[in-house]
Amino acid sequence: MEQLNQLITSQAILLFCYLLGSISFILGLKMLSHPDSARKGNLVAAVGMTIAIVATIFLYQKGGEHLHNYGWIFSGLIIGSVVGTMAAKKVQMTAMPEMVSLFNGMGGACAMLISIVEFHNNANPSMGMLLIIVLGMMIGTISFAGSIIAWGKLNGRIKDKTLPAGQIINFILLGAIVVMAVLLMGNFIDAPWLMYGILLAAALYGILFVMPIGGADMPVVISLLNSFTGVAAAFGGFLYNNPVMLTGGILVGSAGTILTILMCKAMNRSLKNVLIGSFGGAKAGPAGAAKEQGNYKEISLNDTAVLMAYAQKVMIIPGYGLAVAQAQHACHELEKVLEDKGVEVIYGIHPVAGRMPGHMNVLLAEADVPYEKLLEMEDANDQMGTTSVVLVLGANDVVNPAAKDDPGSPIYGMPILEAEKAEHVIVNKRSMKPGYAGIENDLFFRPKTSMLFGDAKKVLQDLVSELKQV
């Protein structure tokens, strides 16, 4: 009786810790929706996860026995914590997207390994249990393989490659996965190699379905793979009857799915078109061939300073080039100098600017730019007509008028920040090299546009010095 009471007590405490963890995830996710509370929300969710992990290690029981092999458990926790902390502290903002992809891939790999372990630990699993194991392994493997390819493409190690009949190969792989899963669950063939056949086919599918996707679509792909990892983790929650894993997986899966849909809407494209269209990957055909452009004109730092100093409203449009130059703090300094001169300064944020969802928001938040100055695309476009000067910092495809004017362009139909509606447009770039989608930007050759070449950080620092003398 005493042992039963102890068991009931420990299980009650464990369930209470799981409840705390689940609530912390929900609260943390809610707080992540606003930059002012995002840091605190991240800490709240981390505390909840810590409680759930510690409770599982010391209170979880199966068959009346506690967990053992504490040496292995804590070795893994310590090594993972040290490596993760060091990587997160050292990573530059420009490398944040590939780190997100890498970490997401590790989550998928974890779900995959859980399914493999449980497949071998259950001698006679029910069909429902087997279905959960197979789905968790399949989705986790696709997320892992796809995330690693996305990581390689984001840091330039892997180039876009489209295999001949690639879509047919993907459909064959999916069909093979379904057939092997049916054979395994129906016990038509009692062979462990079927499980590893599914694993191999899922890994190949994850590689092949991400490989041809172009750079401009990577924010969507990252969101989609993130949702895959969440779903795979949720299946792990089912396997272990663990409410925290289930809640966390459902939250990540649903949030990733919603974000994927929003990203597709921001690009005016369907998810199917993203996955099979290779937008930004293969070069445009004859319909999207490069057209004859006029001449662009340059502007000096002094003229830029005078133009901005006497403007009524300046809108800054940041892009990946700003992150590459680590110029967010210099940008904030420019904002403060202009406001001291009575100029209204706002920021236009495109939802797919950068290499991952929210990249520009995170970048500017790091420099303490007030959140209320960050305008979403629709609000920014509403104010574009009353803006004296638009300063484009390292952005390219998200301000390209070809998205509206050129039906032959690969980005045609994608909503953009309509910078050309402002009185003056100044574009800061290192060179005239095309953006991540690999196409020329019509905006650079428009009559209102002037090019200000150079590294964004140095240009902004010099511009601040010029403004102080105006």
Strand order in the sheet with 389-393: 374-376, 344-349, 313-318, 389-393, 424-429, 449-453
d(CA 245, CA 228): 14
Task: Judge whether 159 and 153 are in contact, CB under 8 Å.
Answer: yes
Burial (CB count within 10 angstroms: exposed 0-12, middle 13-18, buried 19+), residue 306:
middle
Which residues form the catalytic set? 397
**Which residues lie closer than 8 Å to 439 by C-beta, 6 or more apart?**
284, 288, 290, 397, 400, 402, 409, 410, 411
| pLDDT score recorded for residue 289 | 45
What string of DSSP letters covers 174-236? HHHHHHHHHHHHTTSS--THHHHHHHHHHHHHHHHHHTT--GGGHHHHHHHHHHHHHHHHHHH
> What does each C-alpha distance from 53 to 47, 56, 188, 228, 244 come to in angstroms?
10, 5, 39, 22, 10
**3-class SS string, 82-151:** HHHHHHHHHCCHHHHHHHHHHHHHHHHHHHHHHHHHHHHHCCCCCHHHHHHHHHHHHHHHHHHHHHHHHH
Q: What is the CA radius of gyration of the chain?
A: 26
Among 264, 457, 422, CA closest to 357: 264
How far apart, in whole angstroms, are the C-alpha atoms of residue 81 and residue 88?
A: 10
Tell me: pLDDT of 438 over 70.
no
**3-class SS of residue 425:** strand
pLDDT tens by residue, 187-227: 767 678 889 999 999 999 999 888 887 666 777 888 899 99
Tell me the C-alpha distance between 318 and 92, whole Å: 17
3-state secondary structure 287-351: HHCCCCCCCCCECCHHHHHHHHHCCCEEEEEECHHHHHCCCHHHHHHHHHHHHHCCCEEEEEECC
Looking at residue 286, its pLDDT comes to: 40
Asked if residue 396 lies in contact with residue 319, where contact means CB atoms within 8 angstroms, the answer is: yes
Token pair 């395994």 is found at 184
Q: 101: closest CA among 214, 222, 204, 212?
A: 222
pTM for this entry: 0.79
The pLDDT score that the predictor gives to residue 265 is: 76
Q: What pLDDT shows up at residue 63?
A: 67
Q: What is the pLDDT of residues 306-357, one digit of tens each?
A: 999 999 999 999 988 888 888 999 999 999 999 999 999 999 998 878 777 7
% of the chain surpassing 90 pLDDT:
48
- Helix, strand, or coil (residue 423): coil
Q: How far is CA 100 from CA 83, 223, 356, 465, in A?
A: 14, 10, 9, 36
HSE on the CB side for 416, CA within 13 Å?
24
Give me the architecture of the 293-469 domain, per CATH. Answer: 3-Layer(aba) Sandwich (3.40)
What residue type is 351 in one-letter code? P
Q: What is the pLDDT of residues 221-266, one digit of tens each?
A: 888 999 999 999 999 998 888 899 999 999 999 988 888 888 787 7
H/E stretch holding 407:
none
β-strand 449-453 against 65-66: which pairing, if any?
unpaired
Contact status, residue 194 vs residue 180, Cβ threshold 8 Å: yes
- Report the mean per-residue pLDDT for the chain: 85
* Identity at 288, one-letter amino acid code: G
Of the listed ranges 72-81, 122-131, 295-304, 440-449, the least confidently predicted one is 122-131
Q: What is the distance between the alpha carbons of residues 246 and 244, in angstroms, rounded to a whole number?
A: 5
How distant is the alpha carbon of residue 201 from its chain centre?
A: 25
Q: What is the pLDDT of residue 279?
A: 46
Rounded-to-integer distance, Cα 422 and Cα 170, Å = 46
pLDDT at 1 over 70: no
- In this prediction, residues 404-420 reach a mean pLDDT of 84
Is the pLDDT reported for residue 292 higher than 60? no
pLDDT of residue 215: 62
Number of Cβ within a 10 Å radius of residue 121: 9
Q: Please give the distance of CA 361 from its chain centroid, rounded to a whole number.
A: 12
Residue extents of the structural domains in the chain: 1-90, 95-283, 293-469
d(CA 334, CA 355): 24
Higher pLDDT, 286 or 145: 145
- State pLDDT tens for residues 22-46: 999 999 999 987 777 888 999 999 9
